[in-house]
Amino acid sequence: MTVPTAEGSTRYAGARINRVEDARLLSGRGTFVDDVSLPGTLHACFVRSPFPRATIRGIDTSAALALPGVCAVFTAVDLSPDVKEQWHTSVGPDGPETPRPPLAEGEVRFVGDAVALVVAESRYLAEDAADLVEVDYDPLPAVVDYTTAEQAVTLVHEGHGSNLIGEMSGLPAAALQEVFDSAAHVVGETIYQQAYVPVPMEGRALLVDYSAPTGELTIYSATQAPHEVRLFCSRLLGVPEQKVRVIARDTGGGFGQKIMVQREEMCIMLAARKVPGPLKWIEDRRENLIAAGQSRHEHAAVKMAFDAEGKIQAAQIDFVSDCGAYPTPYPVSTSSVVGALFPGPYRVPRASFTAKTIYTNTVGRTPYRGPWQFESLAREMLLDIAARRIGMDPMELRRRNLLRRDELPYTNPNGMPFDNISPMETFEQALDMLDYPAFRKEQAEARAAGRYLGVGISNYVEPSAPGFGYYATEAATIRIEPSGKVNVYIAGGSTGNSIETTVVQLAADALGVAIEDVATIQGDTAVTGFGAGAAGSRSASMTAGAIRETAAILRERIKAIAAHKLEAAPEDIELGNSRASVRGTPTIGVSLGELARAAYFDPYSLPPGVPAGLEASARYTADTRFVWVNATHLCTCEVDVATGAVKLLRYIVSEDCGPMINPSVVEGQIAGGVVQGIGGVLYEHLAYDEDGNPVTTTFMDYLIPTATEVPVIEYGHIETPSGGPGGYKGVGEGGAIGAPPAVVNAVADAVSPFGVTVTRLPLGPAQVLALIETNQA
């Protein structure tokens, strides 16, 4: 794999390097939170509300406490007084957050709301005891339907005074009235998406080890953001930050759900100081499906104006999202991004939006991979509906409106400054990969034979690696050890995103060392600099920046030492394959091991001004506030009009994530997101009944795709470097953004002979059949 060549050309970035994470994970030697066992560990189980809304009249813990092996039962009166501050860094201390008691205080606000926390010697005993906690509830009317919640008399949070959490808007709709009034075509619909959720295979998990003599807490956490867990804990308990150490070794998926500390984790942090041993909470699947959060679940009235040629004149979206009882974090700003990005990668001269967030007595909204993906879903569904109404091919309609490279940079009407994207190129590449005309022919032949094939497309552009607030910086420490082997310390927060391998690849290139000589240490706040973790598709770009900055310091130092040793000028030294050699004379060189030995063990031999050792830390600040990334998803399907079943035939993704650090990792991220998006359209629904009871609380009810349902995903790649380090772009979320509209549009296209307009998700067999039957009647 290593190719010793000229300066900087030992290139691992771009290669399909096998992952450094895999050996342990394939052999059962990973370290997930539940795999950590500390002596004397105690186990937590929550008592949860069976009512969507009720007054808690009393809690009798005596029977639970009497059970042998039970250490404690906590209720709100035990934990709430210890709360010092509780706010997420992305929102800030003065943000208008929802009041968030660790355990319910006086009132439960959704089925699954934690009312009491039982601590026992084993999880089995804790569950036994949880059953013995008697809670006297007085059920109250609940706000279940978010679409009517704003007008409801019942309030989810009495103190807030309204079920409307917040509202943001762009240009007022009235400003576009003239455009809509005079347009050749105006197409509008209300698009609705059901709730579906991240469902990491490992639920949330926390193990808190409190040392009373020192006041220190060591926390093992299933998290995407170890430093955020530490900060949150230190604020919550009023403990100095350096007394909290958070360790996140292996985490079994997150997809947004594990970025922010939620109420259960607050409880474990608070309770850990009151029990005589480390306290472990491992969320089970039922809890994950009723209490870890909801995502998606939103609708919008959307409208576009077109001229006679199908060119978009204006776009308008009025967006409303269900945020449940305890959204984490404050959801209002994210909702406004749906509005701001609704025009997408198209030439849209005018736009307006409103975005409302609503409280209900259901589980709180949490981030999920592409948290504003509704903008793409609604826009791409609307474009297909518009094409059908205007009588134009949906691809041609898009072709007339997609942004071209020669129009960049382009600021959309809501102020989003697009650059370094290639929407037209990914679009045409995807259509070529499919052979679109051939598919239309095949479709026509199939229809003649009574079979219903469809094709659906979506184009999107999304911001990755945000250069704002605490997301805008990332640190790296690199230690070239005395043996010449390299350790790279990065904040981390991997939940499957391969960031260990990425770091090793990038550091090997940046230092000119053999990849076998590089290791990385991540997910331990005791030894890594602050970083915001795996969120916002930021890991690749930001860690590339951090490594670039830090490696530059070390390269200079290595070259100075080598030049001194080899009696050459530093600018004539080149680094490659763990050696420093004189340019043009590769036989004259010195190994990194020898240089490191000198740097550590013979510091007086170093040239003047060069410090001992080969260690450096540096911090990268984002080169650019937006790293835009775009893609086109294109899929084909067959709908069985007798059963309503949808079978996906081909699935093509053409994306532009800039240069790929590791194509396998890029494809893996896309595939995972795509299949989550497919699941969201065809199978998944975090459903409540009309009384507010969750009805999908196991994997027998909440259906995620299996290997029998997924298509083979085909990848096309356009490479437009970003303005950030290495030209890299984020690719973690896009799959989940692009897939839902492509799948919906394919199904809608397949059933279009029935005159069907698809505006609601999901599209399970029952819904597809209902659509066909309604339109046949």
Partner 1 sequence: MGEATVNVTVNGRAWEAVVEARLTLADFLRETCHLTGTHLGCEHGVCGACSVLIDGAAVRSCLMFAVQADGAEVTTIEGIGAPDGELSSVQAAFRDCHGLQCGFCTPGFVVSVTAFLQDNANPTDREIREALSGNLCRCTGYQGILYAVHQAAGAAGQQEPA
676 contacts partner 1 (rule: CB under 8 A): yes
| Residue from 413, 395, 417, 421 nearest 343 by CA | 413
Question: At its nearest, how many Å lie between partner 1 and the CB of residue 279?
Answer: 17
Four-point Cα dihedral 612, 617, 621, 624, nearest 10: 80
695 contacts partner 1 (rule: CB under 8 A): no
102 contacts partner 1 (rule: CB under 8 A): no
Structure tokens that stand for 722 in this block: 């970003």
Indicate the residue among 89 and 224 with the shorter CB distance to partner 1: 224
N-term to C-term CA, the chain: 64
Cβ atoms of 750 and 182 closer than 8 Å: no
124 contacts partner 1 (rule: CB under 8 A): yes
Indicate the residue among 223 and 234 with the shorter CB distance to partner 1: 223
Of 417-425, 543-551, 617-625, 669-677, the segment contacting partner 1 by CB under 8 A is 669-677
Indicate the residue among 129 and 300 with the shorter CB distance to partner 1: 129
Beta bridge partners of 656: 630
Contacting partner 1 (CB under 8 A), which of 390, 671, 687, 770? 671
Beta bridge partners of 303: 188, 316
Structure tokens that stand for 227 in this block: 């430093």
Distance CA 214, CA 233 (A): 16
Indicate the residue among 472 and 521 with the shorter CB distance to partner 1: 521
Distance CA 240, CA 236 (A): 10
Total residues at interface with partner 1 (CB under 8 A):
56
Indicate the residue among 381 and 653 with the shorter CB distance to partner 1: 653
Structure tokens that stand for 588 in this block: 């004259």
147 contacts partner 1 (rule: CB under 8 A): no
> Residue 73, Cα to own-chain centre: how many angstroms?
34
Contacting partner 1 (CB under 8 A), which of 101, 102, 170, 252? 252
Q: Return phi, psi of residue 243, to 5°.
A: -90, 0
Indicate the residue among 104 and 199 with the shorter CB distance to partner 1: 199
Question: At its nearest, how many Å lie between partner 1 and the CB of residue 762?
Answer: 18
Question: At its nearest, how many Å lie between partner 1 and the CB of residue 451?
Answer: 20
Cβ atoms of 187 and 757 closer than 8 Å: no
Question: At its nearest, how many Å lie between partner 1 and the CB of residue 123?
Answer: 8
Q: Binders of partner 1 among 4-23, rule CB under 8 A?
A: 18-19, 21-23
Distance CA 236, CA 272 (A): 13
Distance CA 620, CA 525 (A): 18
Of 133-141, 445-453, 661-669, 740-748, the segment contacting partner 1 by CB under 8 A is 661-669
Of 439-447, 543-551, 695-703, 758-766, the segment contacting partner 1 by CB under 8 A is 695-703
Q: Return phi, psi of residue 121, to 5°.
A: -70, -20
653 contacts partner 1 (rule: CB under 8 A): no
Contacting partner 1 (CB under 8 A), which of 8, 14, 30, 593? 30
Distance CA 620, CA 725 (A): 10
> Residue 372, Cα to own-chain centre: how many angstroms?
11
Indicate the residue among 132 and 266 with the shorter CB distance to partner 1: 132
Distance CA 542, CA 466 (A): 9
Indicate the residue among 83 and 710 with the shorter CB distance to partner 1: 710
277 contacts partner 1 (rule: CB under 8 A): no
Indicate the residue among 36 and 175 with the shorter CB distance to partner 1: 36
255 contacts partner 1 (rule: CB under 8 A): yes
284 contacts partner 1 (rule: CB under 8 A): yes
Of 92-100, 131-139, 247-255, 453-461, the segment contacting partner 1 by CB under 8 A is 247-255
Please tell me what DSSP assigns to residue 716.
Answer: E
Distance CA 509, CA 521 (A): 18
Indicate the residue among 127 and 216 with the shorter CB distance to partner 1: 127
Contacting partner 1 (CB under 8 A), which of 713, 742, 743, 768? 713
Question: At its nearest, how many Å lie between partner 1 and the CB of residue 46?
Answer: 16
Question: At its nearest, how many Å lie between partner 1 and the CB of residue 257?
Answer: 11
285 contacts partner 1 (rule: CB under 8 A): yes
Indicate the residue among 32 and 754 with the shorter CB distance to partner 1: 32
| DSSP conformation letters of 209-224 | EEETTTTEEEEEE--S
Distance CA 224, CA 232 (A): 14
Cα angle 79-85-86, degrees, rounded to a multiple of 5: 85
66 contacts partner 1 (rule: CB under 8 A): no
106 contacts partner 1 (rule: CB under 8 A): no
Q: How many residues make up the chain in this entry?
A: 777
Question: At its nearest, how many Å lie between partner 1 and the CB of residue 556?
Answer: 36
Alpha-carbon distance values, 258 to 46, 231, 485, 532, 536 (Å):
19, 15, 33, 12, 13
- Three-state DSSP string of 347-380: CCCEEEEEEEEECCCCCCECCCCCCCCHHHHHHH
Residue window 497-536: x/- pattern of binding to partner 1, with contact defined by CB under 8 A: xx--------------------------------------
- Name the one residue in this structure whose structure tokens are 């259906």: 703
Indicate the residue among 361 and 676 with the shorter CB distance to partner 1: 676
Q: If DSSP codes are grouped into helix, strand and coil, which group holds residue 523? A: coil
39 contacts partner 1 (rule: CB under 8 A): no
Contacting partner 1 (CB under 8 A), which of 523, 589, 672, 734? 672
Q: Binders of partner 1 among 714-743, rule CB under 8 A?
A: 735
29 contacts partner 1 (rule: CB under 8 A): yes
Question: At its nearest, how many Å lie between partner 1 and the CB of residue 16?
Answer: 8
Contacting partner 1 (CB under 8 A), which of 101, 170, 226, 253? 253
Q: Return phi, psi of residue 291, to 5°.
A: -130, -5
Q: Binders of partner 1 among 199-228, rule CB under 8 A?
A: 199-202
Distance CA 317, CA 315 (A): 7
Indicate the residue among 21 and 307 with the shorter CB distance to partner 1: 21
Distance CA 305, CA 185 (A): 6
Q: If DSSP codes are grouped into helix, strand and coil, which group holds residue 512? A: coil
Indicate the residue among 123 and 619 with the shorter CB distance to partner 1: 123
Residue type, 659: P
| Residue from 468, 446, 555 nearest 510 by CA | 555
Task: Tell me how crowded residue 757 is: count the other CB atoms within 10 A of its CB.
Answer: 16
Contacting partner 1 (CB under 8 A), which of 27, 151, 214, 587? 27
Distance CA 452, CA 643 (A): 12
Indicate the residue among 34 and 474 with the shorter CB distance to partner 1: 34
Question: At its nearest, how many Å lie between partner 1 and the CB of residue 428?
Answer: 24
28 contacts partner 1 (rule: CB under 8 A): yes
Indicate the residue among 74 and 702 with the shorter CB distance to partner 1: 702
| Residue from 195, 298, 154, 110 nearest 692 by CA | 110
Of 269-277, 378-386, 448-456, 698-706, the segment contacting partner 1 by CB under 8 A is 698-706
Indicate the residue among 27 and 151 with the shorter CB distance to partner 1: 27
Edge-to-edge strands, sheet with 164-169 = 164-169, 350-358, 312-322, 296-306, 185-195
Cβ atoms of 720 and 630 closer than 8 Å: no
Contacting partner 1 (CB under 8 A), which of 668, 727, 754, 765? 668
Indicate the residue among 26 and 588 with the shorter CB distance to partner 1: 26
List contacts with partner 1 (CB under 8 A): 18-19, 21-30, 32, 34-35, 37, 124, 198-202, 250-253, 255, 284-285, 494-498, 664-665, 667-668, 671-676, 698-700, 704-708, 710, 712-713, 735
